[in-house]
Structure 1
């Protein structure tokens, strides 16, 4: 594989039952089931690897009434990565389901947007309506990593390795960043929570939790600019991803390869 092309493994670690109105700003007229899945991603080739987001742990799952299917560390090992060998983590944003397991990766550097770190340590966190998607311990742990020299900061767009770039879109969280990854089928955009479900970006609708609605909607423009087609966009929480991409052998229902062509 070329130095600037990667495989992308998308690993499901948790889930939660909910109905459609909970997933859309302004609700939804159809009060039918629309479960949410929780994922993390591993980007790798022969030269380097990156973990994208670190999920939540069992304690957080219990407190927030989420189902932890398989711990993140177990998922990493299943795709061939020992947690203490992980060297780089891209944190799309600091919400509890993307920035937990704070001691799992002791030798990793973390890549985050400047404004996300400023947001989670500033005055906005005085308000429950804004701070409830975050976990205090996750934020404190990231501050400790900053003082330990283990955090790289970005302001907007940046190439962090050949064929891998981050792009600040905000919206859902102040410093939410998406990840563009070069693969054999072209650039794939890991949208994370810039589009929780396919329906959000396809229909210009918004998830129920956001910091800035205008930035959220403008983020869809950025995703479309960076992706050759909608078949190259991977949303952050949609169970339909597992219907569209091939499973990793032996990990059916647990992990898929989103660098490969979708089946639908």
Structure 2
């Protein structure tokens, strides 16, 4: 047992899709397809429960309209019921103390309005650039990034629970956030301390191979931010790549 506060981790699959390989691996695998899983990560101990992402919205029509334009029906998102998934794992929206996101997207914030008691950590600069005042609307489509009802919840009933943070910071004892960019302006790497070491959950690396082979994600906004993130992660601990099916159902004590 270390002197730092430690957590157990459960990685829960809450959705899936297939995408062209070049979305996952920059300038590679144009004629292949990659399976993606979307995850909620639960970090918990005797003091608190911290959840990263809240799953997809029940209405995926806007997201799938864009996915169909991008790559056809094969790329459509398919959602599991996040609330049922966390119930099956032994948790309930009312006992989730803290929530955070990497990144702020419809598939990560989609059920946020059902967690009315949770404190909500939001990376301030990412929120401004992706959501509150996007500079380039073509790339930062607010309606696609965040469902209207979630946007209204954050600025309405949920506002009292929002905690904006800036830069690298320990959000709670034993869990640190490092803004990494790469995929979106709101993309963050979360470092979780466990008895078996530090684990890093981030969308800067869609799959383990991105880090292992130093291949930026294909849908990066800045490939150099990806490479910088990989250097940091290797020095910190074990990677939990955000959309890699290999971590479906993973439990770490």
TM-score range, shorter chain: 0.7 to 0.9
Is 1:233 aligned to residue 245 of structure 2?
no
Aligned to 1:37: 37
Contact 1:172/1:211, CA 8 A, preserved across alignment = yes
Q: CA deviation at 1:63?
A: 4.8
Is 1:142 aligned to residue 151 of structure 2?
no
Contact 2:207/2:243, CA 8 A, preserved across alignment = yes
Aligned to 2:185: 174
CA distance in 2, matches of 1:44, 1:217: 30
Aligned to 2:103: 93
Distance 1:196 1:225, change over 3 A: same
CA distance in 2, matches of 1:38, 1:214: 24
Number of equivalenced pairs: 238
CA-to-aligned-CA distance 1:6-57 (integer Å, 9 cap, x gap):
110000011112332332332425x233111111111001111111111112
Is 1:118 aligned to residue 163 of structure 2?
no
Contact 2:57/2:109, CA 8 A, preserved across alignment = no
Distance 1:101 1:212, change over 3 A: same
CA distance in 2, matches of 1:63, 1:114: 24
- Give the one of 197, 201, 210 matched to 1:186: 197
TM-score w.r.t. structure 1 length? 0.82
Aligned to 2:216: 206
**What SS does the aligned partner of 1:58 have?**
coil
Is 1:14 aligned to residue 24 of structure 2?
no
Q: What is the alpha-carbon root mean square deviation over aligned residues?
A: 2.2
Q: CA deviation at 1:61?
A: 6.4
**What SS does the aligned partner of 2:59 have?**
helix
CA distance in 1, matches of 2:125, 2:27: 27
Distance 1:77 1:223, change over 3 A: same
Report runs of 4+ in structure 1 exceeding 4 Å deviation.
none
CA-to-aligned-CA distance 1:112-162 (integer Å, 9 cap, x gap):
2110111111132x522332751242344333366x321112211111222
TM-score w.r.t. structure 2 length? 0.85
- Which structure has greater helix proportion? 2
Q: CA deviation at 1:216?
A: 2.2
CA-to-aligned-CA distance 1:197-250 (integer Å, 9 cap, x gap):
1111112212232332222221112212221xxxx11100011224xxxxxxxx
Aligned to 1:54: 54
CA distance in 1, matches of 2:133, 2:5: 37
Contact 2:191/2:200, CA 8 A, preserved across alignment = yes
Specify every segment of 5 or more residues in structure 2 that has no aligned partner in the other structure, as ranges. 65-75
CA distance in 2, matches of 1:218, 1:87: 31
5 Å-filtered alignment, 1:215-234, equals: 215-227=225-237, 232-234=238-240
Q: CA deviation at 1:163?
A: 1.3
Aligned to 2:250: 256
Distance 1:123 1:41, change over 3 A: closer
